[in-house]
Chains A and B, each alone.
Chain A
């Protein structure tokens, strides 16, 4: 006869409520682990998805994620000329916050190197990849934008043509993908008045120098579009991502580019280290500590619950001992209930998490490795928590029934 199950059967309501309570507590532990994983995964998501061999950034910066990096757009061409480089692409990424349908919409705009990159590497769940050089975007599902949604960004209106998922920036903001040119247009958008003022300022500066005074054409150019002035280069980019040829020596190529005095070079692994070790390190450690505390709190609460459940049965345990029951009968009664409580609580945590975690604003990433680890921890907690009850039960003397 399984006394643990008999007791649960008789006190099912109390056991169920206790299991739900422990389940919700374990869901918090599970969720905290998921948030931790999500944070780290989000931080390295782009680096992993872009899958570049090298990242070329502004000299002495840890860009483009850990800090701002600006390098000339023509760096891409210089890099491509390096032996054993297979491809190089500009990388532009910036975060904006706009209003859409009356609600704030925060997103990171990522530029794709059209036409070679149309977003083939993005996991689409609806729609298609970019099909034209301008005014189309692929948006992450979490932004809540549907296919065909039109959104004004800068002076242009963009149409959502594809929906992707689980694409978040290192800061956890949902991403949209447009062509590189559109990305820069959005990033460097200026109001008409700002453009007019800049042109007037250029005209004033030009008229104060001799060439401007003697060459009217220079003054005409100064008040025209920036793109019409050869002296003004295109907007800078954040970084250049590089792929090397198969079999090429990565260190050799990196050393060649790093020897240039205006850029720094990081491998993909180094970039991940910068993100995990620096950018999200504090958040990661804070979540880790909080998770540890939650596990300790769960263990204490479970121990108290099991101790109370044992106290409720202490007289019955004395009766069992008087009848000659072996210690294992009593230990099994407490231990089996503890493990069952932990197991059911874990199941409730998992199932409830499936419903609740997707609603969280930031990604909660539950991986099998963490699930197994938590299962082991719950088992250990259940056993440890039952020790207090077992200790109390072992102290009970059968003569307590007689007296």
Chain B
């Protein structure tokens, strides 16, 4: 999918990442190009060590690349391997994360887990609470809003995690094996959820996954191997 700069969630060119030096040097990424439109959901596939998580941390502005550049929200965020924006501020305004484990904060209720993400971004507590309630309702877990994470099932926890990722209306959602801890039915439900929020809320979604059974829910599937996106990015069946 090709879009204008306004419709692109992220655009990356020549991303490389090198760990160590000399004999211990490891090239985790070898010049990766990536383009993702708002509303698009792509799957990132590949064996362990292919560079999927490295790509995720670089696109998520958690680690800088060794070289390459990235544009997001219409402006450069990485140039020549260096961040050009306040990454924490940029992350809270434009990005959402979902992990293999829900990683909900255990001392906050489901609603508060979503609410805190909005308050961190400057929303008033009252507005954040209202927004969090709406999001939980949107994701079908409103009835569990006042429960702590340890009182929720795995699927419910992931739904709350998705709600948290959506809290600040991000242009990009990054998910690292979000269904690995779920059974196939619940896993598919979560993947379907990504598709729904991407299309309805116009967020680009990158999902790192080993689960080939739900590939039909993605707009594209990218296969990574040895730090490269293999072949031409293909549209999923």
Contact = CB atoms under 8 A, between A and B. Distances in A.
Nearest to B148: A10
A1 B107 contact: no
Task: Assign chain A's interface to a size class.
Answer: 20 to 34
A3 interface: yes
Contacts of B89: 324
B35 interface: no
B108 interface: yes
Interface in B113-133: 115-117, 119-121, 125, 128
Interface string B182-225: 00000000000000000000000000000000000000000000
A-B residue pairs, 7 tightest by C-beta: A324-B92, A10-B107, A324-B91, A7-B107, A399-B62, A316-B105, A324-B88
Interface string A361-403: 0000000000000000000000000000000000001110111
In this complex, the member of B95, B105, B115, B148 whose beta carbon has the largest number of chain A beta carbons within 10 angstroms is B105
A1 B148 contact: no
B77 to A, nearest CB: 13
Nearest to A327: B88
A322 B116 contact: no
B112 A323 contact: no
20 contacts: A1-B125, A3-B107, A6-B112, A10-B148, A11-B107, A316-B107, A321-B88, A322-B60, A323-B120, A324-B93, A325-B120, A397-B62, A399-B57, A399-B62, A401-B99, A402-B57, A402-B97, A402-B99, A402-B176, A403-B53
Contacts of B105: 316, 319-320
A316 B89 CA distance: 18
B63 interface: yes
B63 A399 contact: yes
Contacts of A315: 103
Task: Assign chain B's interface to a size class.
Answer: 20 to 34
Given A319-B105, A321-B88, A1 B115 contact: yes
Interface of B: 53, 56-57, 60, 62-63, 88-93, 95, 97, 99, 103, 105-108, 112, 115-117, 119-121, 125, 128, 148, 164, 176
Nearest to A317: B105
A322 B95 CA distance: 10
Contact of B97 (A3, A9, A323): A323
Contacts of B176: 402
Given A10-B107, A321-B88, A324-B91, A402 B56 contact: yes
A326 interface: yes
Contacts of A316: 105-107
Contacts of B57: 399, 402
B121 to A, nearest CB: 7
A325 B56 contact: no
Given A1-B119, A319-B105, A324-B93, 12 more contacts: A1-B116, A1-B128, A6-B112, A10-B107, A10-B108, A322-B97, A323-B116, A324-B90, A324-B120, A329-B120, A402-B56, A402-B60
Interface string A322-341: 11111001000000000000
A315 B164 CA distance: 16
A3 B97 CA distance: 20
Contacts of A325: 88, 92, 120
Q: DSSP majority for the B interface? A: helix
A260 B128 CA distance: 88
A6 B106 CA distance: 10
Interface string A295-333: 000000000000000000001100111111110010000
Contacts of B119: 1
Nearest to B115: A1
B106 A10 contact: yes
A1 B120 CA distance: 9
Given A1-B115, A9-B107, A403-B53, A324 B99 contact: no
In this complex, the member of A1, A11, A319, A324 whose beta carbon has the largest number of chain B beta carbons within 10 angstroms is A324
A203 B77 CA distance: 117
B193 to A, nearest CB: 19
Nearest to B129: A1
In this complex, the member of A3, A322, A329 whose beta carbon has the largest number of chain B beta carbons within 10 angstroms is A322
A319 B92 CA distance: 12
Contacts of A10: 106-108, 148
Given A320-B120, A323-B117, A402 B62 contact: yes
A403 B63 CA distance: 12
A403 B120 CA distance: 23
A398 B62 contact: yes
A320 B117 CA distance: 8
A316 B106 CA distance: 8
B103 A401 contact: yes
Contacts of B107: 3, 6-7, 9-11, 316
A209 to B, nearest CB: 98
A400 B95 CA distance: 17
Given A1-B115, A315-B103, A319-B103, A326 B88 contact: yes
B116 A324 contact: no
Nearest to B53: A402
Interface string A1-45: 101001101110000000000000000000000000000000000
A6 B108 contact: yes
Contacts of A319: 103, 105
B168 to A, nearest CB: 8
Nearest to A321: B88
A324 B115 CA distance: 14
Contacts of A398: 62
Contacts of A402: 53, 56-57, 60, 62, 97, 99, 176
Nearest to A9: B107
